[in-house]
Amino acid sequence: MRLRLALPIAFLLAGVAHAGDTHLPFFHANRDWVLRAYEALPRVKVKESAVARAWSFDPFADSTAVARLAAVRTSLDSAVTWSDLGTFRSALDSLLATAIAAGARLDELDMRFAAHLRTALEVTLASKNDLGIERVETWLEGTCVLAHDVTETERAALAAGGVLEVLRRVVEPRAHAIEVRAWTRGSTVPTCTTWIVDPAPDVLSVCHLDLHQPGEPARLVRATLGEQ
């Protein structure tokens, strides 16, 4: 009986141990940036005579969770009576409830941090020649975030030297893959321009595209606004 119980419970505990993998997408995607920001914080000065101690900071580690998992496994391994199994079940239920609550809290924390992001990205498109751009699509990380049919007014503005904003949003301070597809007059195949942008934290990164010829990638000009 213990073997039949131990196998599904072991798989369940293993799932609990890895449940955190689906949480904190912002922190996981920006782990290095978070650590650098933490290390850049001012430190409280200590007396020179204080004994230096080695330390390791990891905001993603939870030693108490690992210890609780080990304690639950131990309660199962040492169970010999129905009462012992009841104790194990109570400990397991408590652990699962804590894991669910912690997951919800982590997701809330992650959303709060994402909501306060100040790193922004803007992409603009211009056409020095009157190419008659009819449609533009912007793809970010393989997802289409803009699909726009250019109006006659916008085409006239582009022909007169204006620019068309094809992306503007708050993003995570990490590398992003961007592709802009532009369909010009009489063309069934878009002109594609792809690049990688790694925006600086807390500033507006601008990527400007100058499209000269159909079928040829646009010329990319980068700029940053808001740096101190």
Query: What tokens were used for 95?
Result: 């652990």
pLDDT at 126: 94
pLDDT tens for 85-122 read: 888 888 888 888 888 887 888 788 777 776 677 888 99
Cα separation, 147 vs 9, in Å, equals: 49
pLDDT tens for 136-185 read: 999 999 999 999 999 999 999 998 889 999 999 988 888 999 999 999 99
- The CA radius of gyration of the chain, in Å to the nearest whole number, is 27
The fold for domain 120-225 equals Immunoglobulin-like (2.60.40)
Q: What is the pTM of this model?
A: 0.55
Q: Dihedrals φ, ψ of 57, to 5°?
A: -100, 125
pLDDT tens for 22-45 read: 677 777 777 777 777 777 777 766
Residue 73: CB partners within 8 Å, gap ≥ 6?
10, 13
Check: CB of residue 226 under 8 Å from CB of residue 200.
no
Residue 11: CB partners within 8 Å, gap ≥ 6?
none
Mean pLDDT of the chain: 80
pLDDT tens for 46-90 read: 555 555 555 555 555 666 777 888 888 888 888 888 888 888 888
The helix/strand/coil state of 44 is coil
Of the two residues 17 and 148, the one the predictor is more confident about is 148
SS3 for 90-155, per residue? HHHHHHHHHHHHHHHHHHHHHHHHHHCCCCEEEEEEEECCCCCCCEEEEEECCEEEEEEECCHHHH
pLDDT at 114: 67
pLDDT at 191: 95
Check: CB of residue 76 under 8 Å from CB of residue 6.
yes
The helix/strand/coil state of 26 is helix
Boundaries of every domain in the chain = 2-38+60-115, 120-225
